[in-house]
Every structure is written in C-alpha cells, then in structure tokens.
Structure 1
Amino acid sequence: MGSASLSCKGHRYPVEVISHCVWLYFRFPLSFREVEELMLERGIVVSHETIRRWCGKFGQIYANALRRRQPQPRDKWHLDEVFIKINGRLQYLWRAVDQDGHVLDILVQNRRDKAAARRFFRRLLKKTRTVPRVIITDKLRSYGAAHREVMPSVEHRPHKGLNNRAENSHQPTRQRERAMKNFRSVGGAQRFLSAFSGISPHFRPHRHLMPAYRYRAEMTVRFAIWEQITGVAGLPATA
C-alpha cells in the first residue's frame, strides 16, 4: 500500500472514491458540485465540500508523486508569463516547460519585473536541481536582467516566435480559469495550479501525434500509473 493510500486512513470513503473525485476535478473543467453530481449518478453520496477538502489535501500529494516519475528535464527550457485576474487585480502566472512540454514549475506573482524573474529563476534551479543549456523567453527585459544575475553561463534566446511551447502550455489553465470564473486568491491559485500542472498533463498525451490504438495503449499505461501512485493498485478486487 502506497503512502497516498495510507494518508486516506481515517476517511469515511475508500481510496478508490477519493482518488476518482480528485481525478475528475483536476482532469476535466468541472466544479466541485458537478463532481458531486457525477458521483451521485454512480450511487455515491458525497458533498461538494468533502470533495473540495479531498482535492486540497490529496491533489498536491498525487501531483508530487507523478512528478517524481518524470524523467530528468531536458536541457532546453521555455519560460513565459501571462496575466490572470484575482479578485479584480492583475497578477502574473509564470511557467517553465522543457522542450518536451513537461511542466517544470509555475509561480503566481504580482509583478513581472527583474525581482519577480529572479525569484522564478532561483525557484526553478532549486526545484529541478539542474541547470539548462539554454532558456527561451519572450522579449521581456526582466528575463535578461535576471538571467545575467542568476545563470549567466546559460544561453538565453529572447525571441517571441521561438516560445510557442510555453505559450501553448497556458491553454489548459485558461480553460480552468474560465470554468472557475477566475481565481479568488493568490494562495488558492498557486495551490490549485501547482497540483493541476502535475496531474492534468499526465492525462494529456500528444494525441494528435499518435494513431488511436497507440493513444489507447498510452492512456492504459497512464491510468495504471495513476492507480499506483494513489494506492488503488494492489487493493483487493471487489465483486
């Protein structure tokens, strides 16, 4: 039994129910009440508040477990920042992905100046424990100033057209932002997006690049990994 399933001890519902609710919420643009309704259709009565607590408690645990299974980041990183509105105030979501599109980190900040870029660079290096060969950004001058201070030996390519990979990685976040009718707090946005960026990409292989049979085989593997990290795999089968 994995650590994730052990942490479910003491809960009224079994790990299969908890992990399924967490999967539904982070995989699809659903509200907690909509997940509640889907579970009710299956004969499981659980309140949206309980689902909210499960997602808050287990979402990051599952995301961290999935990240530990990812390969080492590739040596070319794409960085980008987009604005998000939180309680009517403009904030900035910083994101870094490698050349394969794996999310390295996200950070919500209220500025996009040199200090904000420097903070994001240092957080990236600490989290990944590796130094890239090259970083690709847009032409925001804050990147260049922070780059010269934090990682001067790394090649920096500021070019709008080269950074489509990072910009495209924001699309699932935009979908969820619309579904949630914007985020309500900086901390809440950071917590949600940190778990979301670990769980959602796991179930989003590049479907347009593979035929249907390969896509189904790939998803079968990914669901098996999900069962392993949530602790569902290895549980006795029910009749």
Structure 2
Amino acid sequence: MNKTKSLYHGHRFPAVVISCAVRWYFRFSLSLRDIEELLLERGVVVTYETIRCWCDKFGAGFARCARAVRRKPGRTWHLDEMFVTLRGEPYLLWRAVDEHGAELDALVQKRRDKAAAKRFFQRVLRSNPVPRKIVTDQLRSYPAAKADIPELVKVKHVFVKAAARVNNRAENIHQPTRRRERQMCGFRDARRTQAFLSCFGPIRQHFALPRHRMNAECHLSILKERLSTWYGLTVPAAADQVS
C-alpha cells in the first residue's frame, strides 16, 4: 500500500519552524533577513534564501487553508483598483472585498479596460458565490464587462464617486498593501507580485483582528484560537502546543 508523502518531505527543518517563518513573512512587515535573525535568536540557523523558498512553496497552500476556515463571504462586492509600479511600468492591482472588509480576490493586470474588468469578474466568481450587489467607482469598464457575464447581468450595480470616499471598504483594503510595498521598496515582477499578494491577503486577514471593537481579553482569546487553527492546518501535530 502506497503512503502519501508528507507536505514537508525532504525538508530538514521541523514543520512548525517552516509554518512559523511563512506566517511571519505574510503577517508582519518583515523582510526575509528579519525572519532569519528572529529564527537565529531562537536557535534555528537558516538562510533568508531558504525562507524565500519556503514562502514560495508553502505560501499558496497556507493561504488556501486560511481562506477555507474564514466565515462565509458576504453578498456585496466592493471593487476598486490601484496603480502599482513594476520596474518602472504602471500596472493595475484589481481587488474585491465584501461588506465586512474581507478580501475576496486580487489580480495584477496591465490594463484598465473592459477585457481586464471581465477577467477580474470571472476570477472572483470562480471562488465566490454570485453577489446580490456590486459597488464600484465610475470606471466605465465595470458595467461594460458586467453586461457580458451572464451570472452578473441582473445583479444590482451601485456607482460611487471615488472623491467622496464612499467606497471605503475597497479603498481601505489597499492600505496594508501600500505599507508592505513601501517596506519592500516597491514590487518588481508582475508574476511574483501576483503570487505574493494572493498569499498576503488571506494570511494577514486571518490574524488581523478588529482590535478597536473588542477588549483585551476577547482579543487574546480569539487570537489564540486563530493561532491554534493555523497550526492545526499547517502542522497538525503542533496544534496542541498553542492551545
């Protein structure tokens, strides 16, 4: 009988160390060298290039786990796009969030036209149910693309003025990306930027709790629960160490 190989097969470091390093990278504004130093302080000697390989290999899978355990997404989509500069070239980062501020998806594209908006709609629909309402700014690409997608034809579409900052659900969700972009001295390659942001959003939001809405005891309790869930998904044997 063939046994399924462990996800960490062939790695000389324990799974809990790999899981911790990947979580730190996507959760906090830390560089790979910062994480190398933090692990060294804990007696783990590993190079930053190895940590980069861990993030590339395990990041997407960990992000899927974080996305799978979050609550069911809301039925209102807030869509917005922001400019990012990659090697001197302007790109658009398209992002969709629900009414609770949970990120649904993000996509880096070169253009801001109907085809780009349609591609983004289709991507979000692959992993989320059809919404009841869509909220966007007045970019004309949105209604043109929406009309070409059968699932969205009858969905209510609300337009807001970007200058009025009514669409704050979508605008505010860009802030962590902007902070991380500055910390990383800018993004560079479109493919790697897409891979990073696809992991960064779900993993960061799994731990980023609305601290201003809860007292210290509640915050600590929920954070411990999230950590236990994280290690239970990424390192099943380590779940008991956190709880």
Provide TM-score, normalisation by structure 1.
0.93
What do the CA deviations read for 1:66-96 (whole angstroms, capped 9, x no partner)?
A: 1111232211110000000111110010000
SS of alignment partner, residue 51 of structure 1: helix
What do the CA deviations read for 1:108-138 (whole angstroms, capped 9, x no partner)?
A: 000111111011011111221x110000011
**Could you say which residue in structure 2 is the equivalent of 1:158?**
159
Q: Is the 8 A contact 1:224 1:233 kept in 2?
A: no
Q: Is the 8 A contact 2:228 2:240 kept in 1?
A: no
- Taking the aligned partners of 2:236 and 2:185, their CA distance within structure 1 comes to 32
- Structure 2: which amino acid aligns with 1:148? A
Report the Cα offset of residue 233 of structure 1.
Answer: 3.9
- Taking the aligned partners of 1:212 and 1:186, their CA distance within structure 2 comes to 40
Structure 1, unpaired ranges of 5+: none
Answering whether residue 147 of structure 2 is matched by residue 148 of structure 1, we say yes
Q: Is the 8 A contact 1:136 1:162 kept in 2?
A: no
Q: Tell which deviates more after alignment, 228-237 or 186-195.
A: 228-237
- Structure 2: which amino acid aligns with 1:216? L
**Could you say which residue in structure 1 is the equivalent of 2:207?**
203
Answering whether residue 233 of structure 2 is matched by residue 229 of structure 1, we say yes
- Taking the aligned partners of 1:15 and 1:67, their CA distance within structure 2 comes to 20
Change (3 A) 1:7 1:144: same
Report the Cα offset of residue 189 of structure 1.
Answer: 0.2
**Could you say which residue in structure 2 is the equivalent of 1:139?**
138
Report the Cα offset of residue 162 of structure 1.
Answer: 3.0
Answering whether residue 38 of structure 2 is matched by residue 38 of structure 1, we say yes
Provide TM-score, normalisation by structure 2.
0.92
**Could you say which residue in structure 2 is the equivalent of 1:93?**
93
- Taking the aligned partners of 2:209 and 2:237, their CA distance within structure 1 comes to 22
Aligned length: 232
CA RMSD of aligned residues (A): 1.5
- Taking the aligned partners of 1:17 and 1:109, their CA distance within structure 2 comes to 34
Instruction: Work out which structure has the larger RCO, using CA pairs closer than 8 Å and 6 or more positions apart in sequence.
Output: 1
SS of alignment partner, residue 43 of structure 1: coil
Report the Cα offset of residue 232 of structure 1.
Answer: 4.5
Q: Is the 8 A contact 1:25 1:35 kept in 2?
A: yes
Structure 2, unpaired ranges of 5+: none
Report the Cα offset of residue 234 of structure 1.
Answer: 4.9
Alignment equivalent of 1:171, drawn from 172, 175, 185:
175
Change (3 A) 1:236 1:11: farther
Report the Cα offset of residue 152 of structure 1.
Answer: 1.4
